[in-house]
């Protein structure tokens, strides 16, 4: 399944899977630590159903948000109305978007960039760096793939209520990683999958050097110190 089809299919269950309301509050608290007092604008690359964009809007920023899944964007628009957030949403492949504005903060959270080949990630970061204001930051969150054992399938998490059960996991075939989601509801089951690209810390460090930008590394959005066994890899680029 190509990546956009994967997320279009996933969209109907996505907000339940991430517990949207709780996730929104957590993102507001976390992103508030990132935002500098003079920040006014933000760009969300891979916005999904809008949780990060809405959090940034609630923190007082003017937000543009992009995702390649039309169904995700439709839900993001619904969520923005529900949570009273004014956001400019756009359907676009992140590898094709042309950035014509400057931003104080550019975010790509929730493992978005792991859906994209590294050569294209390199282009995205280069474009983002050129689109930062002088004190701006680029905040990236992906899975710390170096901490995932590859001898068997790896369960990321399981969500279950009285309507649906959703299991998110990684499976491994030779050098490839597949992101698989098993969905069971009304006694019906289906699995959807898409290929992942396990970007490493060293690759992001090379991007910092190539683009002459600073890099800080954390284990989560609370900006705790990164360790080899951290679940996530959080990168903060700055000028």
Q: Which CATH superfamily is domain 3-146+198-238 in?
A: Vaccinia Virus protein VP39 (3.40.50.150)
Model pLDDT for residues 24-72, shown as the tens digit of each residue: 999 999 999 999 999 999 999 999 999 999 999 999 999 999 999 999 9
Are 37 and 104 a contacting pair, CB within 8 Å?
no
Per domain, the residue ranges of the chain are 3-146+198-238, 147-196
Q: What is the C-alpha to C-alpha distance for residues 123 and 144, in angstroms, rounded to an integer? A: 21
In degrees rounded to 5, what are phi and psi of residue 23?
-65, -40
Model pLDDT for residues 125-175, shown as the tens digit of each residue: 999 999 999 999 999 999 999 999 888 899 988 988 888 888 989 999 887
pLDDT category at 9 given cuts 50, 70, 90 is: low
Q: What is the mean pLDDT of residues 108-114?
A: 96
Residue 13 is predicted with a pLDDT of: 67
């Amino acid at each position: 399944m190509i990546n956009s089809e994967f997320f279009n299919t996933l969209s109907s269950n996505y907000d339940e899977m991430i517990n949207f309301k709780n996730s929104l509050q957590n993102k507001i608290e976390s992103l508030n630590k990132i935002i500098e007092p003079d920040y006014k604008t933000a760009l969300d690359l891979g916005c999904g159903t809008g949780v990060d964009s809405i959090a940034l809007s609630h923190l007082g920023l003017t937000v543009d948000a992009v995702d390649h899944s039309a169904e995700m964007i439709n839900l993001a628009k619904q969520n923005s109305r529900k949570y009273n957030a004014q956001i400019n949403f756009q359907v676009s492949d992140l590898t094709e978007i042309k950035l014509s504005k400057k931003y104080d903060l550019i975010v790509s959270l929730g493992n978005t960039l792991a859906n994209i080949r590294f050569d294209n990630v390199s282009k995205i970061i280069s474009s983002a760096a050129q689109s930062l204001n002088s004190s701006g930051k680029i905040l990236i969150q992906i899975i710390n793939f170096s901490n995932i054992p590859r001898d068997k399938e790896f369960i990321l998490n399981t969500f279950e209520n009285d309507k649906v059960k959703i299991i998110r996991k990684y499976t491994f075939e030779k050098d490839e990683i597949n992101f698989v989601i098993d969905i069971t509801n009304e006694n019906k089951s289906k699995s959807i999958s898409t290929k992942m690209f396990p970007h490493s810390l060293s690759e992001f460090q090379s991007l910092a050097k190539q683009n002459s930008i600073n890099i800080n590394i954390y284990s989560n959005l609370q900006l705790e110190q990164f360790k080899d066994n951290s679940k996530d890899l959080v990168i903060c680029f700055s000028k």
